[in-house]
Structure 1
Amino acid sequence: MVPIIFFVLAVGLPAAAEGLIMAGHLGGPHLPEMRWQGYSPDRLHDFLDRLGPSGRPWYAWFQVADLFLIAGLAGTMVAIDRWGLGRLQATGAVRFIVWLPVAYAILDLAEDLVLLRLIARFGHPFGWLSRAASGTTISKFLLLVAAVLTSAGVAFRALTAHQ
């Protein structure tokens, strides 16, 4: 029961906060960082421009909520990986699987911090900083997919190994 409560608190609450902010203040789930193929500096600038001076602070709050969601999601995947690998008595290089969620979290956190900086600097040229944010978006999605699939595989294997 404790793992379920942890998951709800660590992932569910920040996800709910993000959903409320998106629905109420950002016009729905059409945020640049939700585009797995990235975005151009112009697209990001246009998005921030459309939000206007009253919407940009809400987008910043969305990024802050996302920091908590990332930590909760990555922490959950690390816990699943450690539990599953321990149950399977895995050794060697396979133990490095637990680093996939950590790598995902680092990239997603970097993306959020860059987006917060761009929100604060709206009206100034975006250039390389926007391209960096877009690049981290693409990389974070690749690592997220790898981490989720690996964690699911480890959990499935651990649950079915001792039957």
Structure 2
Amino acid sequence: MDLVSISAAYNGLKVAKDIFAGFNNLKVETATLERINEAVKKVGEAQDAIFMLREELFRLQEENNSLKQQINDRDSWTTVIGQYQLVATAGGAVVFKSKEEPSHFACPSCAQSKEIHILQDSRVMAGTFTCTKCQASYPVKPREKMQPIKFQGW
């Protein structure tokens, strides 16, 4: 049942209730008046039930929209994370590496929060890359060995 049907049923019952209430103003027998009052009561109960159905319909529509959004978000994330693969780097870090160009690495910690943040080369001898969001460091490149300094005679 959709909102239009519920509204039409509610309005129809309102009209019926008004008609029955109008009968109360006429001079009629007590038995007839009791039946009219009972009909008014039943129509009121039906209106209440329809009102509750309308509220439930609104709740279900909101829940449906929320679930659709969750599905869209999940599908979107699946597409994004599908462009990366989890790899172990030469430096020993486990990070996400892009499958597409330009090749880059992404923070695995931020990926847990369904966010992609590209790791930036810190340009240090330790070979670490740093996340632009959480500032985590990962040893992506192998550690560079220091070259001994050769002194020329004085």
TM-score of the superposed pair, with normalisation by structure 1: 0.34
Higher helix content, 1 or 2: 1
Larger RCO (alpha carbons 8 Å, 6+ apart): 1
TM-score of the superposed pair, with normalisation by structure 2: 0.35
> Which structure has the bigger radius of gyration?
2
Higher strand content, 1 or 2: 2
